[in-house]
Amino acid sequence: MNTIRLSELNAIKKTIQNKSSIELLNWVSENFSNQAYFATSLGVEDQIITDMIVQNDLNIKIFTLDTGRMFNESYDLLAQTELKYGIKIEIFNPESRDLEKLVIKDGINGFKKSIENRKRCCTVRKLNPLKRALSDANIWICGLRREQSVTREDMSCIEWDGLHAIPKLSPLIDWSEKDVWNYIKEHKVPYNKLHDKGFLSIGCASCTRAITKGEDIRAGRWWWEAPEHKECGLHSQK
Ligand code: SF4
């Protein structure tokens, strides 16, 4: 197969709708010769996908985005994951000139002043590096789950990413939080130590806080914004 066009997506959805997570990853590995890329944010869901890819020796490239504002614990986890699995996770950084211009224009913490500023920061630090990372990809894989936020509740396991003009596969889309933690414990998958301190969804250090019991999973991300705005843009292009 190697590539999928937008017009073929509905037929593909029917073909793969009953596959398990590992069956979906195997399907990708077998059908997208060397151009299937997995974008890991090092969150628990993504750590599970890394574990599945490595343990099953799948033909899927693993990369991450280093925004430059990550927690030390996230960098520690990146190093620990590479060591445990004996892999190299390719790292994509923001372009230095774009970053300099952003900071001159908005200030070092300008992302808190408005949603527009915040989206501009996410564009320079995340979206543009993602575009470079996916420039020759035919499909990308991510760890989204439907129950993570109101912006994700209508998603299916394969969606069209209009910005990159490729399909995006979410093999854990139906998993519950309990499913995730059961897998992490059962398979001894390394995870970010901040999860034990009340951080459920972990992004940049400056834009993530711990949450308290009863709060939504993503309440600690950009907590000063309304829930419907809480996407950095990585997963909102159709
Ligand atoms: S999460 Fe915050 S610091 Fe990170 S890229 Fe987005 S606005 Fe910038």
Residues of the chain above pLDDT 70, percent: 92
Assess if residue 238 is contained within a domain. Answer: no
Q: Assess if residue 1 is contained within a domain.
A: no
Residue 224: is its pLDDT beyond 90? no
pLDDT category of residue 34 using cuts at 50, 70 and 90: confident
105 within domain boundaries: yes
Distance in angstroms (rounded) separating the CA atoms of residues 236 and 231: 7
Please report the pLDDT score of residue 233 as a whole number: 63
Which of 108, 113, 125 to mutate to test ligand 1, by most ligand atoms within 8 A of the CB atom? 125
Distance in Å, CA 42 to ligand 1 centroid: 16
Residue 148: CB within 6 Å of ligand 1?
A: no
Q: How far is the CA of 29 from the centre of ligand 1 (A)?
A: 32
Which residue range forms the structural domain that includes residue 195?
Answer: 6-229
By alpha-carbon position, which residue is closest to atom 7 of ligand 1? Answer: 118
Ranked by mean pLDDT, the top range of 144-158, 198-212, 221-235 is 198-212
Residues 6+ apart with CB under 8 A from 172: 21, 45, 48, 49, 143, 144, 145, 179, 180
Mutate which of 95, 206, 218 for ligand 1 pocket (most atoms within 8 A of beta carbon): 206
Catalogue the E-assigned strands of 42-194.
61-65, 90-92, 139-141, 158-161, 166-169
Atom number in ligand 1 closest to CA 205: 3
Residue 88 domain-assigned?
yes
Question: Is 175 part of a structural domain of the chain?
Answer: yes
167 lines ligand 1 (CB under 6 A): no
The rounded distance, in Å, linking the Cα atoms of 170 and 65 is 18
Q: Is the CB of 207 under 6 A from ligand 1?
A: yes
Domain count, the chain: 1
Per residue in 97-134, pLDDT (tens digit) is 999 999 999 999 999 899 899 999 999 999 999 999 99
Domain presence at residue 187: yes
| 61 occurs within a structural domain | yes
- Quick one: which of 24, 26, 49, 34 has its CA closest to 3? 34
**Amino acid in the structure at residue 66:** D
pTM score of the predicted model: 0.90
What was the pLDDT predicted at 231? 64
Residue 123 located in a structural domain: yes
Q: Does the active-site annotation cover 121? A: no
